[in-house]
Amino acid sequence: MNISPDDFGKLFAEFKREAFRLETLSVYTIPDEQETFAAFKAGEPQPEKHRNAPWTETIRRNVESGRRMYRVHIVRRPLTDYLRYEMGWGYIRNAKAGEEFFILDVTDRPNPLEGIPDFWAFDESTIVSMQYGDGGDFLGAQREADAAKWLSIRDTALAESVSFAEWWAEHGGQ
């Protein structure tokens, strides 16, 4: 069942315990990020408006109220320019606000979650899968019925991943 952008957005304010995200793509085309992505690629300093993006306040508010926000990103090296930007500017910024990041690096091994789409799991009960076009354009989201299936995928992703800080210290920018 499709979920409207407004209803999807409300989930980030309404969850009670935890919000988990699986990211699977090497490029996300997000219109609001194009200016800062261009600045990153040009070697410019991170703009203040990116360092203090509204998303960081959402994370901070949720984490300070005792709710956990965390994600696993499946990656293959060498990283795309977008992933170097997302991790170097986004993950580090968001981690300071309290979000936790893990990396499942499939450079030298098979992907245990091949074919699984991006999704969010809220409170282990509300699952929203996300659809993207070939260039990383967000096409829409839908609620999923079988929470146990998606939570099993989450558990596999977490079991197969390492902390972002550990991974970035070894592979950052590669």
Residue 146 falls inside a structural domain: no
CA distance 8 to 27: 21
Is 2 domain-assigned?
no
Find, among 148, 150, 153, the residue nearest to 112 by Cα. 153
Q: How confident is the model at residue 32 (pLDDT cuts 50, 70, 90)?
A: confident
pLDDT tens column, 55-89: 999 999 999 999 999 999 999 999 999 999 999 99
3-state DSSP call for residue 18? strand
User: If pLDDT is split at 50, 70 and 90, which confidence band does 173 have?
Assistant: low
Segments forming the whole domain that contains residue 108: 19-139+151-171
Q: Which two tokens stand for residue 94?
A: 């968001």
Task: Give the pLDDT band (50/70/90) at residue 49.
Answer: confident
The answer to whether residue 49 sits within a structural domain is yes
Residue 39: which residues within 8 A CB-CB, separation 6 or more? 45, 46, 47, 50
Q: DSSP 3-state assignment of 149?
A: helix
- Structure token pair of residue 141: 């989201």
**Total domains present in the chain:** 1
